Amino acid sequence: MTQRFIHLKHSLLFASLLIFSTLTAQKYSNEFLSIGIGAKAQALGNAVVASVDDVTAGYWNPAGLANLGPDNGLQIGAMHSEWFAGVGKFDYLGFTLPFSNSDRRIGLSLIRFGIDDIPNTLSLYEDDGTVNYDNIVSFSAADYAFITSYAQRLKAKEGRELLIGANFKVVRRVIGSFANSWGFGVDLGAQYAVGRLRIGATARDITTTFNAWHVTFTEKEKDVLLATGNELPDINSLEITKPQLLLGAAYTFDIKKFSFTPEFNLLATTDGRRNTLVSGDPVSVDPSLGMEVNYNSFLFLRAGISQFQKEKNFDGSDYYISRPALGIGLQLYSLRVDYAYTNLGDGQNRYSHVISLQLDLKPKKQG
């Protein structure tokens, strides 16, 4: 192989792996939707399925939107975080509004996880073998989710509360001009409260979410890929996201002006053996635990732990890693500001800063 092609092969490695891993990693299909939204949830180790009661419920548990009454009006949530030392950017924007029926709510969530400014070196060399850096252009590999949520409060006995909800989601994934896909899925959720105890459940992708991929390369791009030892992916392929079940329980107790809410969650996946605390085939279970301390509904302190995974030492012995998190929140009139500092849980001690905002636009009271 000529030096020209050796250089090209190394330059194309990242882009090629990105494309091919996206198309072939069936077990972790649409995994960007497992990262979690909201600095509050991130600080709690994503253990919020039972207690979530704001606009982010459209992602975590659609039933939780029904906790917001008509007096809450329009609620807006937004988040920005950067992963892998700023290489990946994860953004969220959400809205929720009440129906004329005070027991019903609708929500909309927009999510993007992307890696931008990836250099495309397929045209780095001219036909005569000379290098032309002006030919290098950048592209993005981005995943998008559009989630429409519905929630309703059902009649229950005094002292008890039952909320139900559902999501319809559209998933759009784009890798430059090389590949793109569309996917569709449905989630169901419920929350049940008895006194200070709350129990929650979310069944994600209950219909199994299918992403239909279409790959497009020009003839010149195909020639370069083949010349550098890469295989061409299938022009059309199907990626499947299998159902997941998220269960949780939370309990709130007060001590003077302080309110404490610990929550424990279990995530059960059905796509085969995963590196989780309870690993099985086809079901694996990943626990998470969070604690929020609320001072006078003004200051919120949070901590959580999740994503327990087994790793091996050099001597072959096993040890476990996890994803710890810390966070703080401030309620400033109708604006809440949340911050989380969390580890990716990959053993490399890579931490990320997550910031999110939540704004309540309450309707004017009639005089």
Query: Looking at the DSSP assignment, which residues form a beta bridge with residue 186?
Result: 168
pLDDT tens figures, 71-98: 788 999 999 988 766 778 899 999 999 9
3-state secondary structure of 133: helix
More confident residue, 132 or 287: 287
Please determine, for residue 238, whether its predicted confidence score (pLDDT) is greater than 70: yes
Measured distance CA(167)–CA(59) in Å, rounded: 8
pLDDT higher for 315 or 110?
110
Over the Cα atoms of the chain, what is R_g?
A: 23
Q: Is residue 38 helix, strand or coil?
A: coil
- pLDDT at 22 exceeding the cut of 50: no
pLDDT of 275 over the 90 cut? no
Report if residue 367 sits inside a domain: no
Count helices and strands (H / E) in the chain.
Answer: 4, 17
Asked if the model's pLDDT at residue 27 lies above 90, the reply is: no
- Higher per-residue pLDDT: 2 or 82: 82
CATH of the domain at 108: 2.40.160.40
pLDDT band for position 24 (cuts 50, 70, 90): very low
In a domain, 185, yes or no: yes
- Give the per-residue pLDDT at 6: 36
CA dist 258 and 294 (Å) reads 6
pLDDT 10s digits, 152-161:
999 778 778 9
Asked if residue 21 is part of any domain, the answer here is yes
Q: Which tokens hold the place of 181?
A: 């896909």
Is 137 within a domain? yes
Query: Distance of CA 282 to CAs 207, 243, 278, 354, Å?
Result: 17, 11, 11, 33
Question: What is the full DSSP assignment across 303-315?
Answer: EEEEEEEEEE-TT
pLDDT confidence band for 34 (50 / 70 / 90): confident
If one compares 340 and 179, the residue with the highest pLDDT of the two is: 340
Q: How many CB atoms lie within 10 A of CB 26?
A: 14
Residue 18: pLDDT above 60? no
Tally of structural domains, the chain: 1
- For residue range 300-335, what is the model confidence (pLDDT) as tens digits? 999 999 988 888 788 778 888 888 999 999 999 899
- The span from the CA of 88 to the CA of 77, in Å, is 21
Short-list 355, 304, 308, 349, CA closest to 326:
304
Reported as a pLDDT band with limits 50, 70 and 90, residue 9 is very low
For residue 342, tell me if it sits in a domain: yes
More confident site: 346 or 261: 261
Q: Please, are residues 264 and 248 in contact by the beta-carbon 8 Å criterion?
A: yes
Residue 221 has pLDDT above 70, yes or no: no
Number of neighbours of residue 81 by Cβ within 10 angstroms: 23
- 50-78: pLDDT as tens digits: 999 999 999 999 999 999 987 788 999 99
pTM: 0.83
Show the domain range for 79. Answer: 3-361
Higher pLDDT, 181 or 45: 45
Non-local (6+) Cβ contacts of 28 within 8 A are none
Euclidean distance between CA atoms 337 and 173, whole angstroms: 30
- Mean of pLDDT over the chain: 83
The verdict on residue 366 lying in a domain is no
Whether 43 maps to a domain, the answer reads yes
3 Cβ contact list (under 8 Å, min separation 6): none
